[in-house]
A = this chain, B = another copy of it.
Amino acid sequence: MHNRHMNDIEESVMKPITIRIQPIDNVAIVVNAPGLDAGTRLDDGTVLTERVPAGHKVALTPIAQGGKIIRYGEVIGYAVESIAQGQCVTEHLVQLPTPPELHELPLATRPAPDREPLEGYTFEGYRNTDGSVGTRNVLGLSTSVQCVAGVTDYVVKRIKQELLPHFPNVDDVVALNHTYGCGVAINAPAAIVPIRTLQNMARNPNLGGEVMVIGLGCEKLQPSRLLQEPGDEQPLKVMDPADLAEHALSLQDEQFHGFGDMVDGIMAMAEKHLAKLNRRQRETCPVSELVVGMQCGGSDAFSGVTANPAVGYASDLIVRAGGSVMFSEVTEVRDAIHLLTPRAATPEVGQALLREMAWYDDYLNQGKADRSANPSPGNKKGGLSNVVEKALGSIAKSGTSPIVDVLSPGERIRKRGLNFAATPASDFICGTLQFASGMNLQVFTTGRGTPYGLSVAPVIKVSTNSTLGNRWHDLIDLDAGRIATGEQTIEEMGWALFNLILEVASGRRQVCADKLGLHNDLVLFNPAPVT
């Protein structure tokens, strides 16, 4: 999984530090800032033939002209000219072969690594009647349209003040406000994405199956539709009038004379659901009930070197323990898709990966946008040679497990194991879509820093460098920068994250964003027009 040369914390500041991610890599990344001078001898015996700046690659073996340059265990390019051991592998030495067309890619060609299952790891969660398990016990007020947001914000405050103290087992009450529901092209083909996202959000395990929808009445997206299963055209059993009255309410209902009546109506409905949620108790659950979403944002040169590989290691541990992991962010993986399709568990899963890439290519083309700004000048200065290397740094979060399934944006998870949940890279849209897909805990890596947090699921923030980890001491939950300083190996950090995930999922430890009450709004992905 990795190649760490230093375990001695005391000496780490002085000694040359490089990181090789996979044993077969023939390049490593220089960690020491601002770089290592010519003549520096690395632990494996390599002597630098020239200065290599921090974040840049040094060749660990001679590489012939046209030879493979290997990082993350993958070919990131070919040598433009012969490269000596100890030489700095600068951008202009790396030739990026044109990636093959989507339809030519190898599917499911790589056998799954043979790894022992991890037994005996558990967490304390809230088991739901549908078998899913929540890591929190939250009453979510779903909304069918933004028109009601002012009212739901008001009522949530009142519920927290007046009702929540009577239901001590309930963690929180959250209005799931959004900007969809009316003034949108609801019959456009792409409208399926925001609609199923709303339907599935309401069913996230952290909300305990207690669905209540606040609607207006005249909106295009009717409240009853949020009570249906995605794809169902017919109302469900839940839709008999008594059930409907228990689960959905419209402000335009003639029974409400003025604002006070609306507030009373919502609070009466909330009280019933709070009473049910309050009966729930945490119980010991196997890790197979965890659904962890992996994300990154505000990445830096060390994202792909420290935090993301550690997250990938933890991801493999979760999968070995029978749990589920989602990795996402189509625009972050797109340029290394030819290195992902072989990891598909079956050719069908490989086809699904290609289908999501093609869909996004088309979506960007329609908006006259493309991926041309990748990698940015800042990325290159930081040592990233090309888009493939950049994408591999992001994909590192997925570890090495086979990809068992692909979820279109907002679809609910169907299989345990490593899933690719297709989402934009936008932090909030990705978080919202993973939440709709059933994610009950999120891990977020950041190099530049973001105060990102969600009210509906705990978010563990992992820093890629210790400068950020130290400066944002109360905003970062785990500092993976200690991999770069030699204080910890990728494995050690991966295990630390795995254990932290179990602590947080069990409610024994609160993440920074929750301690401070910092929560971002959920944001729907609406690829269709507004009207």
Contact = CB atoms under 8 A, between A and B. Distances in A.
Interface of A: 146-151, 153-154, 177, 179, 182-185, 187-190, 216-218, 251-252, 254, 256-260, 262, 297-298, 331, 363-364, 366-369, 373, 424-429, 448-453, 471-475, 513, 516-521, 523, 525, 527-531
Contacts of A149: 520-521
A149 B522 CA distance: 11
A185 B252 CA distance: 38
* Interchain residue pairs A-B with the least CB separation, the first 8: A183-B426, A185-B369, A150-B518, A367-B529, A218-B448, A188-B369, A258-B474, A424-B530
Given A150-B519, A179-B521, A367-B527, 16 more contacts: A146-B520, A147-B450, A150-B513, A150-B517, A151-B518, A182-B426, A183-B425, A183-B429, A184-B426, A216-B450, A218-B298, A259-B474, A259-B516, A331-B531, A363-B529, A366-B366
A457 to B, nearest CB: 14
Contacts of A216: 298, 448-450
A231 to B, nearest CB: 19
B189 A368 contact: yes
Given A471-B254, A471-B256, A516 B183 contact: no
A257 B471 CA distance: 5
Indicate how many identical chains form the complex: 2
A153 B189 CA distance: 35
Q: Name which of A153, A523, A530 has the most chain B CB atoms within 10 A of its CB.
A: A530
24 contacts: A146-B427, A147-B297, A147-B452, A148-B451, A150-B452, A150-B520, A153-B519, A179-B179, A179-B428, A179-B521, A179-B523, A182-B426, A183-B428, A185-B367, A251-B449, A258-B472, A258-B475, A259-B451, A259-B474, A260-B474, A331-B531, A364-B531, A425-B531, A426-B531
Contacts of A448: 216-218, 252
A529 B366 contact: yes
A276 to B, nearest CB: 28
B188 A368 contact: yes
A521 to B, nearest CB: 6
Contacts of A183: 424-429
Contact of A475 (B259, B373, B428): B259
Nearest to A529: B367
A513 B187 CA distance: 32
A375 to B, nearest CB: 14
Nearest to A263: B516
Contacts of A427: 146-147, 182-183
Contacts of A259: 451, 472, 474-475, 516, 518
Contacts of A529: 363-364, 366-367, 369, 527
A74 to B, nearest CB: 23
A448 to B, nearest CB: 4
